[in-house]
Structure 1
Amino acid sequence: MRWTGKLLGAVFGYMTFGALGALLGVYIGHKFDTGMAQNPFDPERQQRTKKIFFKSTFAIMGHLAKADGQVSKEEIQMAQQVMAQMELSAAMKKEAVNEFNRGKAPEFNLDAELDEFKQACQRQKNLIRMFIEVQLQAAYADGELDDAEDQILAHICGRLGIPRFAYEQLKRMLGASQRRGAHQQSRSTPEEAYAILGVSESASDAEVKKAYRRLISQHHPDKLVSKGLPDEMMKIAKEKTQQITEAYDTIRDLRKAA
């Protein structure tokens, strides 16, 4: 148990404001000690977060694949594609498959899995957002997001503290991204580009640039890895930043030509 912050806070608080100051100092010191105990940059915590992120990613992917009663060929291929993107070793690929199958099992406890994942992430919003994007990418594997998958994903977002409007925006962005990939286009269409950046066609140049910079910051591979994204998923994060940049370039070129 950490107590350094509480002790120092009590001493300095008492010296400055007396008994009330000591109480305030203990409270502030407690917050400091708690923050140290939950430091997301602690190497041991990072490794634990990466391990839980990895297993939860494939377990929940398996659970979503079974949402409509059966696992489609496209959903299996998407899970395999994610594994291929991560360039997993044979041992880790076997672990990913085991987690995928665990998520498909009738006894899989979704809420318990989400609670463990949320606790490991320690409110790292960008890390949680990346997790949801990977799940949406898998859910769109067969070209559409069915009602059962949508309901489960909405529940997942609610459990992880992601507002409904943010989930709806992610759906639009990931849907556009998946359509672009399915068509194997070299660049996004204007409609897809705006959806990927999460802005409307009426947005000002400043608003488009702001959205672009925010998304690039949110998906920065090194930042995400430092917060707990498994090293093997860095390539996925890099591909997402590339899609965001291409979408921004599409909009910028379109407006220059207008």
Structure 2
Amino acid sequence: MWGKILGFCFGFMFGKIFGAILGLYLGHLFDKSLKNDFDKAGGFSSLFKGDDVHERQALFFSSCFAVMGHIAKSNGRVSEVHIKAANLFMDEMGLKGDERREAQHAFQAGKESDFSLKETVSDFKERFTTRHDLLQLFLEIQIQMAFSDGVLAEQEKQLLAQVSKQLGISKPHFAFVLKRYQAEFNFRQQQQRYKQQQQGQSSSYREGSGHHVPPDNSMNRSQALALLGLNSDATARDIKVAYRKLMAQHHPDKLVSQGLPKHMMEVAVKKSQDIQAAYEYLKKAA
């Protein structure tokens, strides 16, 4: 645009109307050439290259395992259950070789007496300050570690509240996330028991011990509502709104594009599946 304006002005100064027309045309060619060069350089996106997605993923990865290690040691020592939970989490992510060693190193660093939880979470928050869904998922992963032994100890709850506060998450929303994860944890425990029962009964059926009766795997309404973070008086509209919001918050591809390490995509996938299962049950039960 500036090429046209300057071309018109200089053209008019030296050649009146004809010069202005010629200057306008030459200015247009200049603008076009400048735009092509700008596009080749990456356009406006080139101005934001400092906020590289791979750097964000590396920070999410290291911060997540370090804080997990710190929470695991909140009772004074890391139990075998917490170590097993951390290893299972690494297995789910498919971490091997150097990547697994990096995760173990970060987890170990979080257990050290000189580890600064405040500084680590503060640095994380500063980098992801506009990525609210990632901040919440980070908190949910820490809650998952705290729940790995099936019990949320008071020290663990206090640390989680501290992490939540530093992430800029309000107390009411922290309580909501915590309550919803408890429902998610209970649902997965039930699914695991069902799977074990099914395997046992299938084995008995193959051995000819009688007719096969599949175990009851029905999800009740209160459990489905809790998974969506709703109370018993929720309406059909409440259910739909909660479902859409939770699915948007835990969409794997979106979270990866914002900085979630690809290895951690499975976390978001499982959460999405639980949310979908709850919603499908409530739709059929309506």
Judge same fold: TM > 0.5, yes or no.
Answer: yes
Task: Give the distance between the partners of 2:90 and 2:67, measured in 1 at CA.
Answer: 14
| Cα displacement string for residues 150-181 of structure 1 (whole angstroms, at most 9, x for unaligned residues) | 00100111011000111111111111111122
Residue 63 of structure 1 is matched in structure 2 by: 70
Counterpart position of 1:249: 280
1:201-230, CA deviations, whole angstroms, 9 ceiling, x for partnerless residues? 111101101000000000001110010000
* Residue of structure 1 aligned with 2:180, choices 173, 176, 186: 173
Relative contact order, CA 8 A, sep 6+: which one is greater?
Answer: 1
134-143 or 66-75, which deviates more: 66-75
- Residues 98-149 of structure 1 show CA distances to partners (whole Å, capped at 9, x for unaligned) of 1111001111000110111111213210010111111111110011211100
3-state SS of 1:141 partner: coil
The 2-side partners of 1:146 and 1:254 are apart by 36
TM superposition shift of 1:188: 4.0
Distance 1:176 1:76 in 2: 23
DSSP-derived class of the 2:78 partner: coil
Q: What are the equivalent positions in structure 2 for 1:80-159 lying under 5 Å apart?
A: 80-159=87-166
Segments of 5+ residues of structure 2 without an aligned counterpart are: 1-43, 195-216
Please, what TM-score do these two structures have when normalized by structure 1?
0.80
Distance in 2 (CA, whole Å) between partners of 1:206 and 1:238 is: 24
Asked if the contact 1:187–1:246 (Cα under 8 Å) also holds between the matched residues in 2, the reply is no
Give the Cα separation in 2 of the matches to 1:187 and 1:76: 32
Letter aligned with residue 244 of structure 2: R
- 1:254 CA displacement: 2.5
CA contact (8 A) 1:56 1:99 kept: yes
Determine helix, strand or coil for the equivalent of 2:115. coil
TM-aligned CA deviation for residue 187 of structure 1: 5.9
Q: Which runs of 4+ in 1 moved over 6 A?
A: 35-38
Q: 1:193 to 1:120 in 2, by over 3 A?
A: same
Residues 182-201 of structure 1 aligned to structure 2 (within 5 Å): 182-183=189-190, 184=192, 185=194, 188-201=219-232
Q: 1:39-82: per-residue Cα shift (whole Å, max 9, x none)?
A: 5xx58521111111000110000000011112122211111121
CA distance in 2 between partners of 1:247 and 1:253 (Å): 10
Give the Å deviation of 1:253: 2.2
Corresponding residue of 2:56:
49
Q: Structure 1: which 5+ residue stretches go unaligned?
A: 1-34
Tell me, in whole angstroms, the C-alpha distance in 1 between the residues paired with 2:218 and 2:123.
38
Change (3 A) 1:93 1:158: same
The equivalent of 1:221 in structure 2 is 252
Whole-angstrom CA distance in 2 between matches of 1:210 and 1:246: 15
- In the alignment, the residues of structure 1 paired with residue 77 and residue 220 of structure 2 have an alpha-carbon distance, to the nearest angstrom, of 33
> Cα gap change, 1:187/1:88 in structure 2, threshold over 3 Å: closer, same or farther?
farther
Aligned residues: 219
The answer to whether the 8 Å contact 1:193/1:250 transfers is yes
Q: Distance between the aligned counterparts of 2:163 and 2:271, measured in 1?
A: 21
User: Which residue identity is paired with 2:185?
Assistant: Q
**CA distance in 2: counterparts of 1:164 and 1:83, whole angstroms:** 30
- Same amino acid, percent of matched pairs: 34
> What's the secondary structure of 1:142's corresponding residue?
coil
Equivalent position SS for 1:76? helix
**CA shift for structure 1 position 192:** 2.3
Larger Rg: 2
Q: Identify the residue that residue 235 of structure 2 maps to in structure 1.
A: 204
